[in-house]
Structure 1
Amino acid sequence: MVVQGVAAFGHIAPPVVVYAKQPSQQRGARTLMCFPSEFTSYTFCVNAAGKKWDISKRYNDFVAFEHRLVKSFSEEDLAGREPCPEKNFFLSNSPSFIEHRRWRLEMYLNSLAHCPVISHSQLFKEFLEYAGNMGQYYEDSDEAYGRMTQYDREQERQKMEKLAQLAKIPVRGTSDSMGSVPLTSPAEGEHSQW
């Protein structure tokens, strides 16, 4: 089940969008006082370059990823991202808490995809388990955008603005030209969409 929370990254047809799916409870191999440990696995559908794939992560994976981000990037690079949800030992198995955390993790990932320096980083791509050919990525992205009619582009723009407004994330590249906004990666010095 695909539910709320999308942000636009770069242009009208966003190159990276992450949708949260239904989380699942898992039993860990370790035990705590004769009881097997339980954890929640959060599944996300990543949509990039016209391709979709699912990733499953534990909350601890997000915490470790956040620590790597803080070590690897400056505060300026990380500005504008949603905070990673905090740990809560007492409510961690509550269905309402799991649902709230799922939504917050989705917003966290989409806000990172909205930060150009982060979204272009190998660290982010590895976390999203993106192993595709980047040359093919650019061709697919441009081709998919080119197939959209003017009406579809306008509908997509309105949808992205509304969802970004709900998420309080500014939408980039929503000019009347409806064109793609190329981003320059400072490390590579070349234009890219992701």
Structure 2
Amino acid sequence: MFKLTLGKLGVGAIALGTMIPTTAAFAEETTPIPAVKYDQNTVASEVQNQELSVEVYDEHDKLVKVYSKEELEAFNAQFPANPTTAFQNIGTVSPLALNTTSFGKAQFSNSLWIKGGATFKKPQSVWVNSPGRTDGLGVAVYYEGKEKGKYRVNGAFEGGLNIPIAYLTKDYTYYSLQLRNLSLYGGTITLSEGMVFHQ
């Protein structure tokens, strides 16, 4: 009886061993962990090494979407590098059949309403031009004075950047937009100009 039970256990162990998948059985490769480089022992160098992305947070401050660097590049390729000069000769309608509203120089350490809190019909994106390195720029979306969510640019950028905001502007028609400094390091954000693309 003991030998019969021991034999069954041995056969069962061999059968179980062949049924458990291993990485070798499926020719899977391990994913290497990217090396982190620290050029300088400062916070700025860490920010500079971040890959640019845009995080989308809902009204409960829950992360609901992330636009990757590749998605941002594809989105920005639809627009001229400097929309303010590209659109001044054709009025306020962009080639994408969207209206545009420009705003001038903006400097803020906390937040600033775009066009003094004016409402925009179904805003699709906010283009900004930064004369220097900008870190932690955010765009908050408001409906009737209540925040519906926000967008945070992850990483530092210089020059023009078009931030897609249509993800949070589907439910209602008119929204107000607020620029925010969401940098973990504080300071002041300076933008030389900007533009809202809307219906």
TM-score for both structures, normalised by structure 2: 0.27
Specify the structure having the higher radius of gyration (Cα): 2
TM-score for both structures, normalised by structure 1: 0.28
Q: Decide which structure has greater strand share.
A: 2
